[in-house]
Amino acid sequence: MKEFTYVITDPEGIHARPAGMLVKTAAGFKSDIKIEKDGKAVNAKTIFGVMGLGVKKDMEIKMTIDGEDEDQAAEVLQKFFSENL
């Protein structure tokens, strides 16, 4: 299992466009991928789950990746967050 945390820097937080991009990126991996905020974890491959967290600027999220391609998924998702959020 791989985990990392990230503090959102986008002024609008995780809004519709980056949420859709995140879901599409996560869906490309076989691993189970969860995004967590304030103790609530949801499947990062579902747009309703990601949007339902209501992540705003300066909030910290935790990503948990567990599965056969977890190393690659963690690397790609960390890059995604640093470039988009």
* CATH code (residue 58): 3.30.1340.10
What is the reported pTM? Answer: 0.91
Number of domains comprising the chain: 1
The verdict on whether 46 is a catalytic residue reads: no
How many whole angstroms separate alpha carbon 80 and alpha carbon 75? Answer: 9
> Residues 4, 6, 10, 15: which is the catalytic one?
15
One digit per residue, pLDDT tens: the chain, 85 residues? Answer: 999 999 999 999 999 999 999 999 999 999 999 999 999 999 999 999 999 999 999 999 999 999 999 999 999 999 999 999 9
* Residue 6 tokens, joined: 């990230």
Residue range(s) defining the domain that contains residue 73: 2-84
Report the pLDDT value the prediction gives residue 40, as an integer from 0 to 100.
96
